[in-house]
Amino acid sequence: MIDYPTDRRVSAEADRHDIPEPVLVRDLVRVVEVLNLKAKDFFSKRSVLAGSMALRCFGSPRFTVYDADFSTSSETVSPPTVMKAKLAYSDDDLEIMPAELVPHDAQGTSWQSAPIEFNPVFTSLIPNPDDRSFKADVSFRGMLLDGLEVPFKVPYDLDIWPESPAVYIMDPHETLAEKILGWCAHRQVKHYADLAYVALVSRPGGAQLIDLSYPRAREVLDGKLATMSRLQPDIYAAFPSIDALLDDLAQRPQFSSTQWSRIMYLRDARDRFTQAHLIAAVTGVLVPGLKGAGKQPT
């Protein structure tokens, strides 16, 4: 799956990015998990890697610690419980042992395997058994846009493959919509942080990494809001329209101190991605872009 690095290389890279060694090892395991799913034909235009690990393919410096998010459909995985077999993996250096998948919502449109335990024979840098697990969330709510096939990028240099393999990831317009709903409905700081990053790297210019169309983003957000309002009417009652979401997003947020303490950026990005910088990006770039697109003539 990958060329497993030596402990010396992992320790040096963890120190360079100021990431705890067990966190970096767990990330390598999640990378193997993604490649395992690729080998088992999980990925396609409508079955993708989602969330923050997908945003890495656009250079995101936020280092996800525990989760792996996927979006698929019954055409790829049916019933959802068979996803356990797809998540299982074993070679001479690593064994991944998923828990049974259970519904994460009342309608059974989102499923979760937690914990997914692993035995990292390739390293001695994760001695505490409590650190040898991660979680996978698998959405069956369907996608509005085809996924993008892109090189699977990691934010460190460990020579784990000769060339980055291609995987399907969620289109950033759809990721943006899901992150907006995640913040407005649940106030998860990680979603706000990712919204700020998308806003910053989608600005036209030499540093642009995401080609974002705000009119298209509004269309996708409208569709996602309609779906979630149908599935979870009580949670989304406060947001009868896109305008209600954007009005909420325009407000200066109060971040949970506990959640903020768990946000991890790579060392060289840490000084830049402050709370003030995130807020300025969302309220000063993202919200005006989305609101302005709604005023354009059709």
Cα separation, 120 vs 132, whole angstroms = 8
- Predicted confidence at residue 296, as pLDDT, reads 64
Place of tokens 């003539």: 297
What pTM did the predictor assign?
A: 0.94
Q: Is 1 among the domain residues?
A: no
Identify which of 268, 216, 286 has the alpha carbon closest to the alpha carbon of residue 62.
268
Identify which of 61, 81, 38, 140 has the alpha carbon closest to the alpha carbon of residue 30.
38
Alpha helices in 213-285, H assignment, sequence order: 214-231, 233-236, 242-249, 257-262, 267-270, 275-281
SS (H, E, C) 114-161: EEEEEEECCCCCCCCHHHCEEEEEEECCCCCCCCEEEECCCCCCCCCC
Question: What is the C-alpha radius of gyration for the chain, rounded to an integer number of angstroms?
Answer: 19
- Predicted confidence at residue 231, as pLDDT, reads 93
- Return the CATH number at 76: 3.30.460
Residues 163 and 40 in one domain: yes
Residue 229 makes CB contacts below 8 A (sequence gap 6+) with: 236, 237, 239, 240
Residues 62 and 125 in one domain: yes
Q: Is 245 among the domain residues?
A: yes
E strand or H helix at 113? strand 110-120
Of 120, 142, 170, the last residue of a domain is 170
Of 170, 196, 215, the last residue of a domain is 170
Beta-ladder partners of 149:
168
Buried b (16+ CB within 10 A) or exposed e, 203-240: eeeeeebbebebeebbbbbbbbbebbbeebeeebeebe
Residues 36 and 89 in one domain: yes
Residues 165 and 52 in one domain: yes
Print pLDDT tens along the chain (298 aa): 899 999 999 999 999 999 999 999 999 999 999 999 999 999 999 999 999 999 999 999 999 889 999 999 999 999 999 999 999 999 999 999 999 999 988 888 999 999 999 999 999 999 999 999 999 999 999 899 999 999 999 999 999 999 999 999 999 999 999 999 999 999 999 999 999 999 999 999 888 999 999 999 999 999 999 999 999 999 999 999 999 999 999 999 999 999 999 999 999 999 999 999 999 999 999 999 999 998 765 4
Beta-ladder partners of 71:
48, 139
Tell me the DSSP string of 30-43: HHHHHHHHHHTT--
Q: Is 2 among the domain residues?
A: no
Residues 183 and 248 in one domain: yes
Residues 24 and 101 in one domain: yes
Per the structure, the complete domain to which residue 202 belongs is given by 173-294
β-pairing verdict for 133-139 and 67-71: parallel
In the chain, the number of structural domains is 2
Place of tokens 């706000």: 192
Residues 178 and 165 in one domain: no
Q: Cβ distance 55 to 40 under 8 Å?
A: no
